[in-house]
Amino acid sequence: MNRREFIGWVGVGSLASSLPLVIAACSSQTNSSSTTTSARTDGFQVAGSISDLDKNGQLFNEESAAGKVLVIKDPGNTSKVIAVNPTCTHKGCIVGWNKDQNAFVCPCHGSKYAIDGKVINGPADKPLATYTAKVEGNEVLVKGS
């Protein structure tokens, strides 16, 4: 075996021996992210933290595994949380919680929705989709209803 052949074998050997490490690294990243986004055995998904909800008065997660979700504390019982899909049923803008009006309000054409997602004022004529929501520790959890 001459020098060129030897270097070629070492290069192929290095590549072949590092390939399983590269595959393992990619696999573990895939597994860890799928763990954080997959449904728990009870079907709930993490939408965010209670500390973020407390800080901002509402918690919007556009990419939760359950879908777009807006969580607020129940004004009638602040130990409970309420979650809706904030996509306005009129033309798809994102509604926000307006504490003073005690309603979800759409910034585009003014539709208002009650805390349970029902339409208070149009032009929207269909309710917001809702989620079952709860708090565990510092996590806000939601599940499609």
Binding residues for ligand FES, rule: CB under 6 A, are 88, 90-93, 106, 108-111, 123-124
Which of 105, 135 has the CB closer to ligand FES? Answer: 105
Determine the 3-state secondary structure of 71 from DSSP.
strand
Q: How far is the CB of 107 from ligand FES (least distance, A)?
A: 8
Q: How far is the CB of 121 from ligand FES (least distance, A)?
A: 9
Q: How far is the CB of 99 from ligand FES (least distance, A)?
A: 19
* Structural tokens at position 10: 């070492």
Q: How far is the CB of 60 from ligand FES (least distance, A)?
A: 15
- Spatial separation of the C-alpha atoms in residues 7 and 11, rounded to whole Å: 6
- Spatial separation of the C-alpha atoms in residues 71 and 133, rounded to whole Å: 8
- Spatial separation of the C-alpha atoms in residues 74 and 115, rounded to whole Å: 8
Which of 73, 112 has the CB closer to ligand FES? Answer: 112
Beta strands in 27-122 (DSSP E): 45-49, 59-64, 67-74, 77-84, 96-98, 103-105, 112-113, 119-121
Which of 53, 106 has the CB closer to ligand FES? Answer: 106
Q: How far is the CB of 29 from ligand FES (least distance, A)?
A: 38
Which of 46, 123 has the CB closer to ligand FES? Answer: 123
Which of 50, 108 has the CB closer to ligand FES? Answer: 108
How far CA 69 is from CA of 23, 108, 115, in Å, comes to 34, 18, 14
